[in-house]
Amino acid sequence: MIRFAWLVPALPLVAFFLIVFFGKRTPGKGAPIGIAAVFAAFVLSLLVLSHVAGGGEPVERSLPFFQAGRLELEVGTRVDGLAAVMMVVVTLVSLAVQVYSVGYMHGDRRYTWYFAALSLFTGSMLNLVVASNLFQLLVGWELVGICSYLLIGHWWEEKENSNAAIKAFITTKTGDVPFLFGIFVLWLAAGTANIGEITELVEHGEIAAGTLTVAALLLFGGAIGKSAQFPLHVWLPDAMAGPTPVSALIHAATMVAAGVYLAARLFAVFAASATALSFVGAIGVVTMLIAAVLALVQDDIKRVLAYSTVSQLAYMMAGLGLGEPGFTPSQFHLFTHAWFKALLFLAAGSVIHAVHTNDMRAMGGLRRQMPVTFWTFLVGSAALAGIFPLAGFWSKDEIIAAAWHSGHDLIFVGALATAALTALYMTRAVLLTFFGEYRGEAHPHESPRVMTWPLLLLAALSVGAGFLNASAFGVHTFAEWVHVGPEAHVEPFSWALAAVSLLAAGAGVAAGVALYGRYRERDPLRAAGPLYTFVERKYFLDDLYLKGIVRPTAYTVAAAVNWTNQYILDGLVNAAGWVARRVARLVDRLDRRVVDGAVNGVAFTTNVSGGLLRYIQTGNVQRYAVFLFVGVAVLAILITRVA
Amino acid sequence: MSGWEKSAVTLAVFLPAAGALAVALVPRHLDRLIRALGILSSGAALAVGVAILFGFDYGAGRELQFELNTRWIDAINARYHVGLDGISLPLFELTLLLSFLCLVYTWRFLPEPGRPKAFVALTLLLETGMAGTFVAFDLILFFIFWELVLVPMYFLIGIWGSANREYAAIKFFLYTLFGSVFMLLAFLGMFFKGPTPHTFDLLALQEFGAAGGFSRDLQMLLFAGVFLGFAIKVPMWPFHTWLPDAHTEAPTIGSVLLAGILLKMGTYGFVRIALPVLPDAARAWAPAIGVLAVIAIVYAALACLAQRDLKRLIAFSSVGHMGFVMLGIATLSDIGINAAIFGMVAHGIITGMLFFEVGSIYDRYHTRMIADIGGGMLQKIPWLAGLFAYTAIASLGLPGLAGFWGEVMALLSAYNPSGAVSEWTTLFRTLMVFGGIGTILTAGYFLWMLQRVNLGTVPDRWRDVPIPDVTRVELVAWAPLLVGILLLGVFPRAVLGVTNEAVEALVRVFGG
């Protein structure tokens, strides 16, 4: 079956071209093509997963791509449990999103193009997932970036949306550059860009530790950008400008997961460097906390979820920072998070579809009008908050337990605090949106079935997915699929730790109910005064980037360069031309007054030479050609003499 | 060797010139016939080019194929020596393709003040000059083709250009001429200080140079000469100031050919002549060239951010892209020079296409100012705007499209330059970092440009003005380029499979 793994990315990519060229002329305007392709890819992914589930070596199949000197690249697929699980996640989330979009995007100006871009997005991500070498991975990596640009800016009539699209692309591109250099470092050190060969060389200690640290840190730069980690997380909240199903796709499967996946895919490189692991862990702890706090002060329901994604991805990063014990837990969290975050976004989209606003202050009481949306959103929130026995509980608990057992106190404390904050902001979001009285002016109604079915599917997964690795009941299926080394790593389950993490979540819920149980115009947290403002202004990071880097570069520095170009560099050229004209005129005058005056009889000569010299300023090309060849001849004679 | 193999290259090079002659004999009122002759003769040259593609032995890319080496000017031992190897073939084919497409485009679009006869004849003459430059293996022959290019381009800019055309045309002509004089001096130096009997034959000079025939001091001097000639043509920073004026003022196909082909003559000169004939000097000059290349990348990107004229923006972007090409060359490495040739072809296709599109936008809006167009093009003319976005995104180096591999490989070669410049590795890695920053800035100015012209809603002043979308002639002239952009992105072997053999042979003198 693995022979056909290449079809998994290929199908959506082919669908992209089919939709672009024929979509508008086919029934369903292209959507059925994309849905059919991703469904087929999903089925194939399941078959691939079932094939690799038994463990064993990764299966690689590659073809030569090109050779340029020492650079020999192949293109192919490298499938192991990690890749297979990711393929399933990407295709299934994409499938749910595409089906949902049929309803959500109904009547959109660019309906067909939208589905084409979704297919390209999915195919690019899948290429990144299965890539057998780093350059092929890079292709997927950057294509994912441009797809996010296209979809975030889907409604480009509004400047705000295209600004968000550019911001997303440039911010992630800023991470992509170190990422690219990290690939260079590995390529040179290993003499190959093949992921399998690199992993093997690293595991055999063939690559110097210092080199690996540099490579890992550079590669992590890319992960920071794509997975929206501090300090490059600023693009993700703005990315909410895109259609909501796109947010679900970006946040669950196709974009932000790439960074975490990359660190796992090249885990050998990271694991070989204690410095790199500490750095990953530190970024994880910082990001999970600052993002969770930010989620607390948002009024836009999508922004709550966006910061929550940043925070949860940081959870996964912190997990990876634990080293080998954190590997499976972090990927398990990536897996469960995909379902409930996709669910939350699609449910939020359903709400927005009904009330035509993102602002939770204009919602409230929607549990009555939108029961399916309400219940599924509630399930997603509980899963995200880590409530027993939903999916998020199991995966989050594994990371907390791994941090505890491996003695990473900071990560342990940070993860617990984040768990409490997560429960708090999700409680706030649920209460503001679905409880109390409706405060808006629309006429809310439940969404059509094409939108609620995907919600129900994802809700089922959000409930059940955790049982794939429910260590409390001795289930380790996921760990057998996804692990480093020959044996699955099984974290001993501790009810005491689980109780602590549940306590943290419970405290968050309780605080949320206490603060937001009754709706208030003024957010109770505003009592924190300047601290609240500091958080509300996003720690002034956006201002720093915009006013400190982007605007000075785009306006001041650019204008200075342009000025230098026009008045200094080009000024020199024009000055040279001016001097040449002056000299010519001088010679001309000299010629007329001195030569002509002295040799009165040879007026003919004067005319010719004066005329010739005057031609220098006319730009007559034939004359130049004559001068050129005469000059060449003279020089040739001179050089012969010298030689 | 068959007669076909001996004559194919000559045929392809001079068919356009013959076409120019034919056009000259046609009465000027037979407008359609003139334009048809242009398409036919450049089409015939392209057909020969395609036949060459089928006959070329790709396994022997390092050897000169379709070679013809015959007596020419005995007095100075200049020979008519032409041929193709893996380095020149892609550029030669690109020339034939782009010229043909330009003449197809001319079927419908002829800038003011008309005069199709002169326009078509000059374009055909230009094609002969450009194609000849890439096949000449004798320095005098090379020089003549090189200079032949100047004259028609001068007139194309000077007669059919926009408002400031005369200034731009003279500047272009004098600036490049200034460089070529020094280049010629260096050629003469090679002739007189080279092997005996004195020769202009490039292969003989390469052999002589590789064996250390030229003293180091002489090499440095000769390199300075060819450097000026080539660097102005590329153009490298700070010799680039003729380019924005010439590109901006030139008529559409003038800009297409300037950016698409003419600039490559300079970079090709470095690869074909400067590096192999003067290897020690190349080694000594390489760090400086690398520095200038990266200055060009960052500088051009910043300048692009400040441009208000769409065409001038694209023109400046060429300076940056050629910076990547020169960076690859400066590393003297197999990867770097492969990257350079790939980058040349990719830039030729992409930027040629961008100039076509900007020309078409100008034809419709009668302005090139970004602020006057004011956005909303995707609403007003979705196809043209969509293609423009596609090409611009290719130009910013998106993987899957042509701009990617040249850029990435150039940066990779800077990370790992040739052993010949290994003592400068730290410098080259620093250059790589700045080149990387350049890619961010490049993405920035292209996306910003697209935001300002493509996105948003149609401004009031254009709302009721009828503006046609892409026409059939445009689509026909562009289709090969649009397909090529995708093809080179997903199948880079189309170029690298041709160049690699020849490049590996070339860099042997630098120890790989």
CB contacts of B173 in chain A (<8 Å) are 619, 621, 624
pLDDT at B201 over 90: yes
- Rounded mean pLDDT of A147-152? 93
| Helix A81-104 / helix A324-355 crossing angle, nearest 10 deg | 0
Strand partners, B71: B79
Q: What is the pLDDT of residue B265?
A: 96
Rounded distance between C-alpha atoms, residue A444 and residue A354, angstroms: 5
Q: Which of A436-440, B27-31, B406-410 has the lowest mean pLDDT?
A: A436-440
Helix, strand or coil, per DSSP, at residue A303:
helix
Q: Does the beta carbon of B378 lie under 8 angstroms from any beta carbon of chain A?
A: yes
CA of B2, closest CA in chain A: separation in Å? 32
Interface test with B, best of A20, A63, A66 (most B CBs within 10 A): A66
The pLDDT value given to residue B504: 93
B185 touches chain A (CB under 8 A): yes
Q: What is the mean pLDDT of residues B160-185?
A: 92
Res. B484: pLDDT tops 80: yes
Phi-psi region of A551 (alpha: psi -120 to 50; beta: other; left: phi over 0): alpha
Q: Does B154 touch chain A (CB under 8 A)?
A: yes
Strand partners, B81: B69
pLDDT reading at A588 higher than 60? yes
Per-residue pLDDT at A640 exceeds 90: no
Q: Cβ separation of A68 and B437 shorter than 8 Å?
A: no
Chain B: nearest CA to A320, how far in angstroms? 28
Helix axes A159-190, A209-226, angle to 10 degrees: 160
Kindly list the distances between the CA atom of residue A132 and the CA atoms of A64, A83, B51, in Å, as whole numbers in the listed order: 11, 11, 37
Identity of residue A615: Y
Query: Is B443 at the interface with chain A, CB within 8 A?
Result: yes
Contact B303 A143 (CB under 8 A): no
pLDDT at A625: 65
Q: Is B169 on the interface with A (CB under 8 A)?
A: yes
Residue range A495-517: average pLDDT?
A: 90
Mean pLDDT of B497-507: 94
> A69 vs B334: CB contact, 8 Å cut-off?
yes
Q: Which residues of B281-311 are buried (b: 16+ CB within 10 A; e: fewer)?
A: bbbbbbbebbbbbbbbbbbbbbbbbbbebbb
Residue range A118-124: average pLDDT? 95
Q: In this predicted structure, what is the pLDDT of residue A477?
A: 82
- pLDDT at res. A609: 56
Among the listed ranges A378-387, A521-530, B221-230, which one has the minimum average pLDDT value? A521-530
Average pLDDT of the residues in B91-119: 93
Per-residue exposure over B388-427, b if at least 16 CB sit within 10 Å of its own CB, e if not:
bbbbbbbbbbbbbbbbbbbbbbbbbbbbbbbebbeebbeb
Strand partners, A78: A60
Residues in chain B with CB shorter than 8 Å from the CB of A181 are: 411, 415, 432-433, 436
Minimum distance, in Å, between the CA of residue A376 and any CA atom of chain B: 36
List, in sequence order, every beta strand (DSSP E) within B85-165: none
Distance CA A628, CA B185 (A): 12
Q: What is the DSSP letter of B258?
A: I
Categorize the per-residue pLDDT at B11 as very low, low, confident or very high, splitting at 50, 70 and 90. very high
Dihedral sign, Cα of residue B235, residue B237, residue B239, residue B245: positive
Q: Which residue has the tokens 């197809």?
A: B104
CB contact under 8 A, A569 and B393: no
Q: Which residues contact A513 (CB under 8 A, 6 or more apart)?
A: A427, A431
Q: Helices A409-434 & A391-405, crossing angle to 10 degrees?
A: 160
Q: Per-residue pLDDT tens for A317-343?
A: 999 999 888 898 999 999 999 999 999
Mapping DSSP to helix (H, G, I), strand (E, B) and coil, where does residue A30 land?
Answer: helix
Overall average pLDDT of the A56-75 stretch: 88
What is the percent of chain A where pLDDT is above 90?
Answer: 51
Q: How far apart are CA B19 and CA B3, in angstroms?
A: 22
What is the band of A641 on the pLDDT scale with cuts at 50, 70, 90? low
Contact A554 B444 (CB under 8 A): yes
pLDDT in the model for residue A530: 87
**To which H or E segment does residue B212 belong?**
none
Q: Mean pLDDT over all residues of chain A?
A: 88
pLDDT at B395: 96
In the numeric block, which tokens belong to residue B77?
Answer: 């031992």
Asked if A558's CB is within 8 angstroms of B503's CB, the reply is no
CA of A569 vs chain B CAs: smallest distance (Å): 7
Amino acid (1-letter code) at residue A72: E
CB contact under 8 A, B335 and A180: no
Collapsing DSSP states into helix, strand and coil, what is residue B162? Answer: coil
- What pLDDT does A510 receive? 92
Instruction: Give me the pLDDT at residue A580, please.
Output: 85
Interface probe for A, chosen from B451, B504, B508 (most Cβ of A below 10 Å), is: B451
Q: State the average pLDDT over residues A249-277.
A: 90
Q: Are B334 and A70 a contacting pair at CB < 8 A?
A: yes
Task: Report helix, strand or coil for A616.
Answer: coil
Tens digits of per-residue pLDDT, A150-198? 999 999 999 999 999 999 999 999 999 999 999 999 999 999 999 999 9
Provide φ and ψ at B82, rounded to 5°: -125, 160
Chain B environment of A68 (Cβ under 8 Å): 334-335, 338-339, 342, 409, 496, 499-500, 503
pLDDT at A109 > cutoff 90: no
Contact indicator for B83, B53 with CB cutoff of 8 Å: no
Predicted pLDDT at A626: 65
Model confidence pTM above 0.80: yes
B346 to chain A, any CB pair closer than 8 A? The answer is: no
In what helix (H) or strand (E) does residue A100 lie, and over which residues does it extend?
Answer: helix A81-104
**Radius of gyration in angstroms for the set of CA atoms belonging to chain A, rounded to a whole number:** 32
- Mean pLDDT over B304-310 rounds to 93
Q: What's the rounded Cα separation, in Å, for the pair B322 and B272?
A: 16
Write out chain A residues lying below 8 Å of B246, CB-based: none
Chain A positions touching B404 (Cβ under 8 A) are 139, 142
Which of B432, B455, B496 should be substituted to probe chain A, the one whose Cβ sees the most A Cβ atoms within 10 Å?
Answer: B455
**CA of B436 vs chain A CAs: smallest distance (Å):** 6
Please give the residue of chain B at the shortest CA–CA distance from A174. B440
pLDDT digits (tens, 9 = 90+) for A407-452: 888 999 999 999 999 999 999 999 999 988 888 888 888 888 888 8
Mean pLDDT for B338-351 is 96
Who has greater pLDDT, A543 or A184? A184
CB nearest A188 (choices: B189, B238, B415)? B415
Best of B155, B196, B299, B305 to disrupt the A interface by mutation (most A CBs within 10 Å)?
B305
Contact B507 A69 (CB under 8 A): yes
pLDDT of residue A639: 61
Structure confidence by residue, pLDDT tens digits, B58-104: 999 999 999 999 999 888 999 999 999 999 999 999 999 999 999 99
Please give the mean pLDDT across all residues of chain B. Answer: 94
Length of chain A (residues):
643
Pick A180's closest partner by Cβ from B302, B338, B411: B411
Whether residue A56 has pLDDT greater than 70: no
Residues 6+ apart with CB under 8 A from B466: none
Q: What residues are paired with A68 via a beta bridge?
A: A71
| Rounded distance between C-alpha atoms, residue B295 and residue A343, angstroms | 49
Q: Do A226 and A141 form a contact (C-beta atoms < 8 A)?
A: yes
Q: Are B438 and B294 in contact (CB under 8 A)?
A: yes
pLDDT digits (tens, 9 = 90+) for B229-238: 999 999 998 9
B287 close to B421: Cβ distance less than 8 angstroms: yes
- Nearest Cα of chain B lies from the Cα of A407 at a distance, in angstroms, of 38
Which of B188, B249, B418 has the most A C-beta neighbours within 10 Å, making it the best mutation to test the interface with A? B188
